[in-house]
Chain A
């Protein structure tokens, strides 16, 4: 009998990883269900289609692209069993720093008054570097001092927001160069979001980086005994999350053609929500980029749908909150099923 089973596994080495129901499918069905629900309500109350409107679809994805970029980093952090509360503040800090280096030649400069217009690569690299530094701070605090991720990233969250305000003594940075503004115009943010998603989807599924990320989240002790340098890997994961928050900050400031210290407020929570709705488990070891992308789109559909139906914004938040709770309950339920079997 065991022999027969073994033969079976051997005979299909090229078979897909598994023929099981992919976990994303149920979330995808929620997305489709919500979209169809709004479509139906649209015909009833607004006498027009919700989905068959190209402009609305573009706006729908566009407004969640920044959240999506952050959520891709946050998903990886959550897979390791951690959390990142600093993303929103890092968006603000990056937006300020990048914007201050991206002002057009004739702009009023709150910092570096003698600067002329720089090539667009400078603010972009600086922004990503700021994000990386914040992520590095998160990772180092968590991996080297052993304080919980929640506390470490809370500290960085407050610090980064303070730095963003201090940087220009609270003044906004405006009149950014056209090339820089181009990063946030049209569908460019959507392209950046989807490209980032693709890169990290591949990284998580097919690289050693991805395998180690899941292993650490599933069981950090077992991962260490298996020869993984857990501390170093955690620092890398948090740094990547920081870089992606930085990227989100660049896109945000480019889209607004200005940098403001109040940008990115509460983005970290939307990003965490997108990851959790997408199936990432806050206890670690579970989560996928495809799920997070769908989770992000669910947030987008809800926002657009409510605007479309001209329902007040606070109902949106109530429904969003309930979706998040439902997602966490679903995660708990799956975990109980697994534990019952183990």
Chain B
């Protein structure tokens, strides 16, 4: 029925018209309109807080819009739940995967829709046959009977995609699907996305990674401060132009670089081991130095950081601070030695989501100061927190605002601020800019460079090679729990790092 005469209205898969949405105190989306054509990948980009997530949630039926209309294949949709969106052909692949870990691939895909036999029991044979057909169609190599908890993040994502397509979805919404993937897995994901395209499906793709756009997206729509800024063919859009559209101003240099001069060694690790996560890790970290740690997901980098900070102490080896061997058996002990640790996962181990920005900022500092006879010195804490939030340019109405209201980038700034208030001499940063927007990223990079220039020793884990290369004095590469090389800044490049990381 949609044969030869594929004119504009016929190609249109999803049309979003004049969507408005406000939350208490913020207009999240202000009169946004856009369209996604069938057989295309449409990227949605913008800084954190630009309204991308809100728009996606509206399209996926998770939250209702205040005003405006959604049309899929010419039909107006009234979505009241994600379930309804699914039934209408719209599926969302979540950033936090929604799978049941103790159930199999097949069970997860067909949950609630299992094929039954003559006496009403689930037919496992039919279930597995259907799953195999579905996975084959997508060239995904997975055992339908494997339990989800045994799968890697990448494979779990594949299961999510398969589940979405099992509903015969016409439009797939992907929220930063590559943020937790290795390069190879990302390439596989892109292959699947191209396959979907060729089948005439549409993909709405959210990302913070500029490099991906030219590879995967046909069109790009930019949002800024809840407003529609523009849509362009990816081919016609230069990177600088995109950034300009997103931030509304020119960003001169992306990386401030490592210009400080490293001093004496402040932290030494000697033969640290915590099998099976990492073993025999030795390195020195100098004052004023940024030591980048590169490696693939699962190389043991985060576990190493956790061990250094006493979250899960190493089982063998030594940690020396200022030349003296110390025992770091709890974060408390690490903190008292002047260490600070910004963790990888803002939600799980970072934010105190029910509390205010002020509560989130002050909490680490309160363990060692700002307290007299058990009472918090309110005025002093407030003053210090105000100063730090101004220095980090945290966008918030006031410090009493719940941190849950802030965008990812601003939450990250608050978490960094939490540690700066303890005046650390050693700063461990695990993926300090993951999932945050370009402008906030640049600000955090500036800050890290500045801290190093003031003499702080910085250990920075990152999965983004440009960040590692742009920021570090030296790069330590890990592979399967072992250090495979430490490169000086001058010798380091993407190829060398990838060679050491993938072996």
Contact of B368 among A5, A207, A215, A227 (CB under 8 A): A227
Kindly list chain B residues whose C-beta atoms are within 8 Å of the C-beta of A10: 386-387, 390
Contact of A228 among B358, B363, B401 (CB under 8 A): B363
Give A1-24 as 1s and 0s: 1 = Cβ < 8 Å from B's Cβ atoms: 011011111101111011010000
Q: Which residue of A lies closest to B439 (CB)?
A: A2
Does B359 lie within 8 Å of A211, measured CB to CB?
yes
B3 at the binding interface (Cβ < 8 Å):
no
Give B156-173 as 1s and 0s: 1 = Cβ < 8 Å from A's Cβ atoms: 000000000000000000
Contact of A225 among B349, B375, B379 (CB under 8 A): B349
Nearest-Cβ distance from residue A7 to partner chain B, whole angstroms:
8
* Cα A276 to Cα B397 with chains together (Å): 29
* Cα A12 to Cα B399 with chains together (Å): 11
Kindly list chain B residues whose C-beta atoms are within 8 Å of the C-beta of A318: none
B366 at the binding interface (Cβ < 8 Å):
yes
> Contacts A15-B398, A228-B367: A218 and B354 contacting too (C-beta < 8 A)?
yes
A123 at the binding interface (Cβ < 8 Å):
no
> Contacts A206-B376, A208-B376, A211-B376: A226 and B418 contacting too (C-beta < 8 A)?
yes
Contact of B343 among A225, A227, A229 (CB under 8 A): A225
Does B395 lie within 8 Å of A2, measured CB to CB?
yes
Nearest-Cβ distance from residue A96 to partner chain B, whole angstroms:
33
B214 at the binding interface (Cβ < 8 Å):
no
Contact of A229 among B330, B356, B375 (CB under 8 A): B330
Kindly list chain A residues whose C-beta atoms are within 8 Å of the C-beta of B350: 219, 222, 225
Does A215 lie within 8 Å of B404, measured CB to CB?
no
> Contacts A18-B356, A208-B371, A285-B353: A226 and B363 contacting too (C-beta < 8 A)?
yes
Kindly list chain B residues whose C-beta atoms are within 8 Å of the C-beta of A218: 352-355
Nearest-Cβ distance from residue A59 to partner chain B, whole angstroms:
37
B335 at the binding interface (Cβ < 8 Å):
yes
Output the residue of A3, A7, A12, A340 with the most chain B CB within 10 A: A340
Does A2 lie within 8 Å of B349, measured CB to CB?
no
> Contacts A10-B386, A341-B23: A223 and B401 contacting too (C-beta < 8 A)?
no
Nearest-Cβ distance from residue B345 to partner chain A, whole angstroms:
9
Kindly list chain A residues whose C-beta atoms are within 8 Å of the C-beta of B356: 17-18
* Cα A3 to Cα B418 with chains together (Å): 20
Kindly list chain B residues whose C-beta atoms are within 8 Å of the C-beta of A2: 393, 395
> Contacts A18-B400, A341-B405: A223 and B363 contacting too (C-beta < 8 A)?
yes
Give B384-396 as 1s and 0s: 1 = Cβ < 8 Å from A's Cβ atoms: 0011011001111
Nearest-Cβ distance from residue A25 to partner chain B, whole angstroms:
15
Does B399 lie within 8 Å of A9, measured CB to CB?
yes
Tell me which residues from 12 to 62 in chain A have a Cβ below 8 Å from any Cβ of chain B. Answer: 12-15, 17-18, 20
Q: Which residue of B lies closest to A208 (CB)?
A: B371
A217 at the binding interface (Cβ < 8 Å):
yes
A313 at the binding interface (Cβ < 8 Å):
no
B11 at the binding interface (Cβ < 8 Å):
no
Give A184-219 as 1s and 0s: 1 = Cβ < 8 Å from B's Cβ atoms: 000000000000000000000011110110110111
B383 at the binding interface (Cβ < 8 Å):
yes
Q: Which residue of A lies closest to B404 (CB)?
A: A342
Does A226 lie within 8 Å of B331, measured CB to CB?
yes
Kindly list chain B residues whose C-beta atoms are within 8 Å of the C-beta of A13: 379, 382-383, 386
Tally of A-B Cβ pairs under 8 angstroms: 135
B120 at the binding interface (Cβ < 8 Å):
no
Kindly list chain A residues whose C-beta atoms are within 8 Å of the C-beta of B276: none
- In this complex, how many residues of chain B approach chain A with their Cβ under 8 Å: the count is 56
Nearest-Cβ distance from residue A283 to partner chain B, whole angstroms:
8
* Cα A3 to Cα B392 with chains together (Å): 10
Output the residue of A7, A10, A13, A225 with the most chain B CB within 10 A: A225
Does B349 lie within 8 Å of A215, measured CB to CB?
no
Output the residue of B311, B331, B354, B356 with the most chain A CB within 10 A: B354
Q: Which residue of B lies closest to A340 (CB)?
A: B63
Interface of B is mostly: mixed
> Contacts A9-B386, A15-B398: A208 and B351 contacting too (C-beta < 8 A)?
no
Output the residue of A7, A10, A208, A212 with the most chain B CB within 10 A: A208
> Contacts A13-B379, A218-B353: A208 and B359 contacting too (C-beta < 8 A)?
no
Does A224 lie within 8 Å of B354, measured CB to CB?
no
Does B404 lie within 8 Å of A208, measured CB to CB?
no
Does A221 lie within 8 Å of B349, measured CB to CB?
yes
* Cα A265 to Cα B336 with chains together (Å): 46
* Cα A9 to Cα B389 with chains together (Å): 9
Nearest-Cβ distance from residue B502 to partner chain A, whole angstroms:
30
Does B393 lie within 8 Å of A225, measured CB to CB?
no
A281 at the binding interface (Cβ < 8 Å):
yes
Q: Which residue of B lies closest to A218 (CB)?
A: B352
Tell me which residues from 86 to 102 in chain A have a Cβ below 8 Å from any Cβ of chain B. Answer: none
A286 at the binding interface (Cβ < 8 Å):
yes
A338 at the binding interface (Cβ < 8 Å):
yes
Contact of B367 among A17, A227, A281, A340 (CB under 8 A): A227
Kindly list chain A residues whose C-beta atoms are within 8 Å of the C-beta of B228: none
* Cα A284 to Cα B418 with chains together (Å): 21
Give B307-342 as 1s and 0s: 1 = Cβ < 8 Å from A's Cβ atoms: 001010000000000000000001110111000010
B374 at the binding interface (Cβ < 8 Å):
yes
Kindly list chain B residues whose C-beta atoms are within 8 Å of the C-beta of A207: 374-376
Kindly list chain B residues whose C-beta atoms are within 8 Å of the C-beta of A338: 353-354, 402, 404
Kindly list chain B residues whose C-beta atoms are within 8 Å of the C-beta of A281: 354
Q: Which residue of B lies closest to A219 (CB)?
A: B352
Q: Which residue of A lies closest to B225 (CB)?
A: A1
* Cα A2 to Cα B394 with chains together (Å): 7
Kindly list chain A residues whose C-beta atoms are within 8 Å of the C-beta of B376: 206-208, 211
* Cα A3 to Cα B393 with chains together (Å): 7
Q: Which residue of B lies closest to A287 (CB)?
A: B354
* Cα A221 to Cα B390 with chains together (Å): 27
Q: Which residue of A lies closest to B336 (CB)?
A: A227
> Contacts A13-B383, A225-B341, A225-B349: A215 and B396 contacting too (C-beta < 8 A)?
no
Kindly list chain B residues whose C-beta atoms are within 8 Å of the C-beta of A228: 332, 363, 367
Kindly list chain B residues whose C-beta atoms are within 8 Å of the C-beta of A212: 363, 366
B112 at the binding interface (Cβ < 8 Å):
no
Q: Which residue of A lies closest to B390 (CB)?
A: A6
Kindly list chain B residues whose C-beta atoms are within 8 Å of the C-beta of A214: 352, 354-355, 359
Contact of A208 among B355, B366, B393 (CB under 8 A): B366
Which of A's residues lie within 8 Å of B, judged by CB? 2-3, 5-10, 12-15, 17-18, 20, 206-209, 211-212, 214-215, 217-219, 221-229, 281, 284-286, 338-342
- Sample 21 A-B pairs with CB under 8 A, ordered by A number: A5-B395, A9-B398, A9-B399, A13-B382, A14-B379, A17-B356, A206-B375, A211-B363, A215-B352, A219-B352, A223-B352, A225-B331, A225-B343, A225-B350, A226-B331, A226-B367, A227-B331, A227-B335, A338-B353, A340-B57, A342-B353
Given pairs A3-B393, A285-B355, 11 additional interface contacts (CB within 8 A): A9-B399, A10-B390, A212-B363, A214-B354, A215-B359, A222-B352, A223-B352, A227-B334, A227-B367, A229-B330, A285-B354
